[in-house]
Structure 1
Amino acid sequence: MRISRLLPLAAAAAVALAPTAAGAATAAPVHDGTWTYRDPAPLGGGTGLSLGGFSDLFPADDSGNVFWTVTDRGPNADAPADTDKIFLKPDYTPQIMKIKLRKDGSVDILKQIPLQVPQGRRDPVTGTRFLTGLPPAALTAERPVDTAGNVLPNDPYGLDSEGLVRAHDGSFWVSSEYGSSILHFSARGVLQSVLVPAGSAFEAPGAEVLKILPAVEARQKNNKGLEGLTVSADGRTLYAAQQTALANPDSKTAKKSRVQRIFRIDIGHRTPAVTGEFANVREADSATDGGWSTSAITWLGPDRLLVEERDANRPTAFTKLFEVDLRGATDLLGGVWDDPATTPSLELAPADTDGVVPGAKRLVFDAAAAGLANGKVEGVALRPAGHGAAELFLVNDNDFGVDGYANGAVVPNNAATRVDRYTLPAGTVSFGR
């Protein structure tokens, strides 16, 4: 069978410049604020580690000073075996937090919401209401081990929380890297439901498990599932983006493919439903040899998103934000590209001829060109700033200060958690309703 191919992208906008509606170039972004999480709270348990791992930003009000964020699965490090991951505090509970950016340049934590298993249940690892960041075996083949190499138990409720949005009713939606999954928590952090791929064996006792994502989504590379998450202004539509390309058909494809899938999900009714699936073609990544990630997306308007593409360097060498317009893109939902048997896969389709139309891209922000002295940006928030300008907020994931584990000790990365603000001049982005 002859497979359709992806159309080429339009030429990117000039670095650090964005076209206005009239086609003229605006001035460069202005860096006008930095806030640092000073003296982070210790994690305890004899680890010597401190709170960090901030993995998203979501405005808590209209002030531009208060945000929601979420930590990831907890401090961890690469193990000698590629299939293993060392958990430095296996009982760590990921948490949602409300933070404030203070006038003195500090980040203050106003509220902490540790994530909990469904009402009436207990987590089999902790024996309490609080879940862990240990992987659920049904969503990933990654094996958890302790610092001595001993295999740790899987947690059916475990998640590697990455993307966060707060719904109009005060509840939270969280995307997890452990497979393509999205979890819904109450305002108090109690797990209510989970969205996973069709055919998945995943179950979370006491929670509603909705197997509504395309079956092909189960082919994510270990711990490289859905990460970017955002919601429409009316609170009725989620958008979720893969961290990297699917391992479809194999891990080599995940490393080399430029195709990223983005999903549109209706949450305005009693039962969520996937209503669209689109392709975004990332930039060429020869410099990092497949090390690119999308950790954050932000809603700009119906089927228009701000999408991050980044490396994991500190400071960043490649972190760019693109407006991705999906309104003219091909809806792939339910078609041949969702069938794991389709050969070649969408991830292998060349991006130089006709066929599937990806989202149209336009460069909005180049972190390196703008002088951002930070790295591993995993949270992005955007708000109108008056007169057509916009404020862009970026938070890094400092990995709880861990760079690795060697010779019986943590190798620190000395990276602080910080939020940076840039003002984007008028014409850089537009907001819709």
Structure 2
Amino acid sequence: MTSKIWLLGLVFVGVLSGCANNSTTSTAGFVDGFPPQGSELPYSVLRDDLIDSKTNTPFEIRNGGFGSAMTANPNQANQFYALTDRGPNANYSGDYGKGKSFPVASYTPRIGLFNVAIDGKVTMVKSILLKRPEGSLISGLPNTSALGGTGETPYHADGQPVLVDDSKPYDKVANPIKLDDYGLDGEGLVALKDGTFWISDEYGPHIVHFDSRGVEIGRINAFKGDSRDVFHLPAVFQHRRANRGMEGLAITPDETTLVGIMQSSMKNPDKAAQKGSLTRIVTVNLTTGKTEQYLYRQEKSENSNSELAALTANKFLVIERDGSFLFGGPNGRSKAKPNAQKHVYRIDLTTGTPLSSIALSDSIKRDVSHGMMIDGLTLEQFVNKNGWEALSAKGIHPVNKSLVVDMVKAVSYPHDKMEGLWVIDKNHLGVLNDDDFATWSTKGKLEQKILDKNKVDSNRLYIIKANLIGN
């Protein structure tokens, strides 16, 4: 039934993709009057009873959190959708192993629709909670290992494990740690003209299709045993690095092909391999399920590709960033990073080598699990050991990229995370940060996430004027 509903959605996409934008709002109004320092998104308070580990005073956990991805509302020019991830969380190691503290463990990941007024004020139009196929709410809790879970144990803020029934003691069989195979750590978002959405995440990674109400109607991942799937990713994507999955998702303008990008080098086949600069792009044809892979070369090893946005059928924008704060953030002024990297690049898939086009030989093989191998090494291992030039000598080239925006130079970007891109028109780009629900942690202890002594981090929309399409 799921597949039939999903395919019906594609029919509507095909009909609507040829129609003009129905928006009655000109982009000129809100982009011309938009404040250069950006505009803050509204938020509510999830809880304010926890004690900040640095100040020993209560602090706010905010919702907020609408910064993991953003995309245009295809039917309204002055509106955008933004995505939360799995909810407020922090690294934590407790009696049941390493994992994450979830101070709002019942949090449901969601999509927000936001409106930008002529004066630049941003307001929320609605919030769409994400749901399982039968309509119950999903959580942000980790998946089981069969679907890519990396052993993250979920804990409450008080250090107790999140259990199937928190009112009863832990029992490995009768009352185990609570995991959720529908749980999502969403990071990429696509909004289609028919009102449906695709979301990519950091767990599987999974790419999940939701209807306009937020109910799941289809799924794509690399696990062939997952009966929910309509198509599959190549098996190599099972080796995503923990907490660095499919961070960006886009769709071609004709709405026929999804394009996803991994945040960082994958754990392919081990942790040593993930410390490189080779990242993967995958395309998925939504009619046939056919996939293709391309390579993206990061400026620095272990950088983050945090968003992907379509310009044409082959040209896309990519956020590539590090994790530093220009002015030090929660780490203080002494840790300011004047060379913080918050870049937007334009890439062209036609300049990269489709991995399926590489002929096999005595040197080049394909492994069922680890993908293309050269001299017995995965592509990640090969580049780490021999360099990108050696890969080029084998006829394999990453996509070309050119810098479009340096957000540090453009607006003195103060945030650590830059994770949302909104292509408004060919000369204007919306950029959104992830505020992490205004939370931070030091050595596993929760605190308020601040940008400087007196300013709490929040979701902030910036609109940048730039030549997005290029020559």
Under a length normalisation based on structure 1, what TM-score does the superposition of the two structures give? 0.80
Moved over 6 A (4+): 405-408
Q: Which amino acid aligns with 1:397?
A: D
> Is residue 189 of structure 2 the alignment partner of residue 164 of structure 1?
yes
> Is residue 411 of structure 2 the alignment partner of residue 379 of structure 1?
no
Aligned to 1:92: 107
The Cα offsets for residues 232-276 of structure 1, whole Å up to 9 and x where unpaired, read as 111111110001111111122212x11111011112x3xx61331
Give the unaligned 5+ runs of structure 1. 1-29, 122-128
Bigger Cα Rg: 2
Aligned pair partner of 1:394 in 396, 415, 431: 431
> Is residue 283 of structure 2 the alignment partner of residue 279 of structure 1?
no
Separation of aligned partners in 1, 2:310 and 2:79: 18
Contact 2:90-2:446 within 8 A present in 1 as well: no
| Alignment CA distance shift 1:185-1:333 (3 Å) | farther
Aligned pair partner of 2:212 in 164, 183, 187: 187
| Alignment CA distance shift 1:213-1:61 (3 Å) | closer
| Alignment CA distance shift 1:110-1:253 (3 Å) | same
Aligned to 2:264: 244
> Is residue 431 of structure 2 the alignment partner of residue 412 of structure 1?
no
In proportion to residue count, which structure has more helix? 2
Aligned to 2:409: 369
Secondary structure at 1:348 match in 2: helix
Separation of aligned partners in 2, 1:193 and 1:145: 30
| Alignment CA distance shift 1:61-1:198 (3 Å) | closer
Pairs within 5 Å for 1:45-60: 48-54=60-66, 55-60=68-73
Q: Which amino acid aligns with 2:254?
A: D
Q: Which amino acid aligns with 2:156?
A: D
| Alignment CA distance shift 1:379-1:337 (3 Å) | farther
Q: CA deviation at 1:403?
A: 0.8
| Alignment CA distance shift 1:202-1:89 (3 Å) | farther
> Is residue 278 of structure 2 the alignment partner of residue 259 of structure 1?
yes
Aligned to 2:254: 234
Separation of aligned partners in 1, 2:397 and 2:424: 29
Aligned to 2:20: none
| Alignment CA distance shift 1:258-1:224 (3 Å) | same
Separation of aligned partners in 1, 2:284 and 2:231: 13
Q: CA deviation at 1:117?
A: 0.9
Contact 1:139-1:202 within 8 A present in 2 as well: no
Contact 1:229-1:241 within 8 A present in 2 as well: yes
Give the unaligned 5+ runs of structure 2. 1-33, 51-59, 163-177, 327-336, 359-364, 451-455
Q: CA deviation at 1:299?
A: 0.9
Separation of aligned partners in 1, 2:442 and 2:158: 11
> What count of residue pairs does the alignment treat as equivalent?
373
Q: CA deviation at 1:161?
A: 0.9
Aligned pair partner of 1:303 in 304, 308, 314: 314
Contact 2:74-2:192 within 8 A present in 1 as well: no
Q: Root-mean-square deviation (CA), in Å?
A: 2.5
Pairs within 5 Å for 1:92-171: 92-119=107-134, 129-137=136-144, 138-141=147-150, 142-152=152-162, 153-171=178-196
Under a length normalisation based on structure 2, what TM-score does the superposition of the two structures give? 0.73
Q: Which amino acid aligns with 2:298?
A: R
Separation of aligned partners in 1, 2:223 and 2:352: 24
Separation of aligned partners in 1, 2:226 and 2:81: 28
Secondary structure at 1:370 match in 2: helix
Separation of aligned partners in 2, 1:418 and 1:366: 17
Aligned pair partner of 1:80 in 86, 93, 106: 93
Q: CA deviation at 1:338?
A: 5.8
| Alignment CA distance shift 1:91-1:65 (3 Å) | same
Q: Which amino acid aligns with 2:402?
A: R
Contact 2:284-2:291 within 8 A present in 1 as well: yes
Separation of aligned partners in 2, 1:219 and 1:118: 27
| Alignment CA distance shift 1:242-1:104 (3 Å) | same
Contact 1:37-1:418 within 8 A present in 2 as well: yes
The range that moved more, 322-331 or 110-119, is 322-331
Aligned to 1:21: none
Q: CA deviation at 1:99?
A: 0.4
Contact 1:160-1:176 within 8 A present in 2 as well: yes
Q: CA deviation at 1:33?
A: 5.8
Aligned to 2:54: none
Identical pairs, percent:
29
> Is residue 369 of structure 2 the alignment partner of residue 340 of structure 1?
yes
Contact 2:440-2:446 within 8 A present in 1 as well: no
Separation of aligned partners in 2, 1:262 and 1:198: 18
Aligned to 2:40: 36
Aligned pair partner of 1:327 in 350, 364, 368: 350
Aligned pair partner of 1:360 in 396, 400, 403: 400
Q: Which amino acid aligns with 1:392?
A: L
Q: Which amino acid aligns with 1:422?
A: I
Separation of aligned partners in 1, 2:412 and 2:74: 25
| Alignment CA distance shift 1:193-1:61 (3 Å) | closer
